[in-house]
Structure 1
Amino acid sequence: MKLSVIILNYNVRYFLELCLKSVEAAIANIDAEIIVIDNNSPDDSCDMVKQLFPAVKLIENKENLGFSKGNNIGVAKAKGDYLCILNPDTVVAEDTFTKLIKFTDSKENLGIVGCQLIDGKGKFLPESKRNIPTPKVSLKKVLGSTNDYYANHLSSEDTGKVDVLVGAFMWLKKEVYEAVGGFDEDYFMYGEDIDLSYKIVKAGYYNFYFGNTTVIHYKGESTLKDSKYAKRFYGAMQIFYKKHFKQNLIFNAVVWIGIKIAQFMRKNPEDEDVTLNKCYLYSNDFDTVEQLPKPLQSEATIQGNVESNSMIVYDFELLKASIVMADMKQKSKQENIVFRFLLKNSKFIIGSDSATNRGEVLHF
């Protein structure tokens, strides 16, 4: 088998459905399997998977075991030569995996490959490619300078070597994952992707950022920025430094400052509600969306220009994910544009405009 897609889920049933539909389309011509590990979600995620995706291998944990242990359980069941560690709050393009197979099959000493991630507003996520967060780099980031934290020697569209990739999307050979012991289970959530990336670099492999394919990552679903997040994140960084660097007073100060700053800066100005003046529906199904904002303009094809302060609804029955993502990136340059997806054979519209709060699901 060529590929195993590993998806660790916790309590994001509707985003998981969207993710799985995109993955199914992306593996249509690949010898692949999908493994979903559910960390005891209180919603109906597992029932949804059983009903709508019977071919998916579902592992139901009886408690929330965290990111590292949950993914390790899934990888232990995987049969693919390659692994794709994938968040449930993501959308992959139809050609994402085929492009990565072509790219990585010719590489020697390959570690992790990451790709271009955008958020629910179509904006590039700079954490798609990062440098090793040394104490000096971390201190600069806390003080507001991210030049050394992110791998800015590459543009979002470039491809090249980087040190650290993000756990929302990690592509690597299973044998490499196993060679370094997989995710370190000392981490419950946050930091494990940095740790795995660094372990692989130290083992002599090369990590790559591949900018020729795009994946949507709805950050607010898996990374809620509250005080608990701040403590867990900086606690994870403490684990990382104890394992890989000499502990020092500077880093302890960075951790303390970081927690305090995160507690005061949880509200992002970009996450303010947008007053919508118009809605564009790109669909052939015009009868099931009476709850959409008015005035509503329905089109069967994507338009180049839209008004600011608008909602755009893409119908995945009509449009490919790769076309949608390209359009999102283009329209995200306009002021106050929000995006929603109408899923194939589903009766809800979904999207997220925030990196700090849950997304929105509109049933109809």
Structure 2
Amino acid sequence: MKLSVIVVNRNMCSLLKQCLPTLIRACQDIEHQIIVIDDSSTDKSVEMVKTDFPEVSMIVNEQSIGMAASRNLGTEKAKSEYVLLVNADIISGKKTVEQVVQFMEGHPDAGAVGVRALTPRGRFMPESRTGFGRSWATLLKITGLAKYFPKSRLYKNEERWINEDEFATTEVDVINGAFMLLRRSALNKIGKLDERFIQFGHDIDLSFRLRLAGYKNYYYPRTYILNFAKQLTSKFTLDYIRKFYGAMIIFAGKYLFKMPEIKVPGIPQMFAPKYEIER
């Protein structure tokens, strides 16, 4: 099989209902399977999927286990050359999936690829280009880990750089987890997602591990998704603070005292690779 699409849902019934038809349409010319992992929803998500989308495979978690662990359940069930991780609150363009699969097939050095994300109003979302927001950028600068993210240009007027290159296909450090196409052979090599990242940070960690293993991550803006970026909990709740900032602590602790080495053929030590752009 060419492609497995993994969608994790938790209490996003209405958004999932509009997401799935766009994914089905975008995958119609590709040999594929779509797997929905419901992470213990209390709304009508499970019933909706079973009734409206019987062709979609489903895994139902009796208790919530988090985004990373749920995605691992899906990838374990997936039997395909590529694995697409998407959030339940996105809408795919008609040719988006087909185009990114074609891109991966033309770039055998790629471990993962992401696309340009827009808000429902059509505004460009910079995090689709960088893979993380300002809070993570600040953490990387403070800890000194920023040197391992050279393509994010964290010390070089990043806002202006992001705007200039919104439409440039380029190698990046991090793929945003809202839409992340992975090469299965690369995923097999680096291992499953780190389940300590319950909701946030697992995409950053996974992208970083791909680069450590010698793969490249690409941003491909010639197609797009709409991302509603819906939060299940307010940013001012204790649960959100614990998961979001807890992920930062886990990431810093995982790499701060262990000097990573980017594996580049013929080069024994980590170095900052040149910035590559395709027009």
**TM-score greater than 0.5 by the shorter chain:** yes
Counterpart of 1:38 in structure 2 is 38
- d(CA) in 2 for partners of 1:151, 1:243: 29
Counterpart of 1:237 in structure 2 is 248
Larger RCO, structures 1/2 (Cα 8 Å, 6+ apart): 2
CA contact (8 A) 1:86 1:169 kept: yes
Of 164, 169, 181, the match for 1:171: 181
Which runs of structure 1 show a deviation greater than 3 angstroms over 4 or more consecutive aligned residues? 131-136, 138-141, 145-151, 221-224
1:2-46 per-residue CA deviation (whole Å, 9 max, x = no partner) reads 110000000000100100010011111110110000001000101
Counterpart of 1:75 in structure 2 is 75
Give the match's secondary structure for 1:125.
Answer: coil
- Deviation, structure 1 residue 153: 8.3
Pairing 1:189-208 to 2, within 5 Å after superposition: 189-208=199-218
Identity of aligned residues (%): 35
- d(CA) in 1 for partners of 2:130, 2:231: 21
Counterpart of 2:151 in structure 1 is none
- Deviation, structure 1 residue 186: 1.2
**So what's the TM-score if we normalise by structure 2?**
0.81
- Deviation, structure 1 residue 237: 0.6
C-alpha RMSD of matched pairs (Å): 2.5
Give the match's secondary structure for 2:198.
Answer: coil
1:119 aligns with 2:114: no
CA contact (8 A) 1:130 1:149 kept: no
- How many residues of Structure 1 are paired with residues of Structure 2 in the alignment? 244
- Deviation, structure 1 residue 245: 1.4
- d(CA) in 1 for partners of 2:23, 2:36: 12
Pairing 1:168-317 to 2, within 5 Å after superposition: 168-221=178-231, 224-227=234-237, 228-246=239-257
**So what's the TM-score if we normalise by structure 1?**
0.63
Query: Are the structure 2 counterparts of residues 130 and 242 from structure 1 closer, same or farther at C-alpha, using a change threshold of 3 Å?
Result: same
Of 134, 141, 144, the match for 1:137: 141
1:74-129 per-residue CA deviation (whole Å, 9 max, x = no partner) reads 00000121111000000001100111122110112211101000112221111112
Counterpart of 1:270 in structure 2 is none
Q: What one-letter code is carried by the residue in structure 1 that aligns with 2:241?
A: A
CA contact (8 A) 1:114 1:166 kept: yes
* Runs of 5+ unmatched residues, structure 1: 248-364
CA contact (8 A) 2:143 2:256 kept: no
- Deviation, structure 1 residue 150: 9.8
- d(CA) in 2 for partners of 1:138, 1:229: 22
Give the match's secondary structure for 1:236.
Answer: helix
Counterpart of 1:156 in structure 2 is 166
* Runs of 5+ unmatched residues, structure 2: 147-154, 259-279
Q: What one-letter code is carried by the residue in structure 2 that aligns with 1:6?
A: I
Give the match's secondary structure for 1:50.
Answer: helix
- Deviation, structure 1 residue 208: 0.3
- d(CA) in 2 for partners of 1:13, 1:131: 26
- d(CA) in 2 for partners of 1:234, 1:104: 33
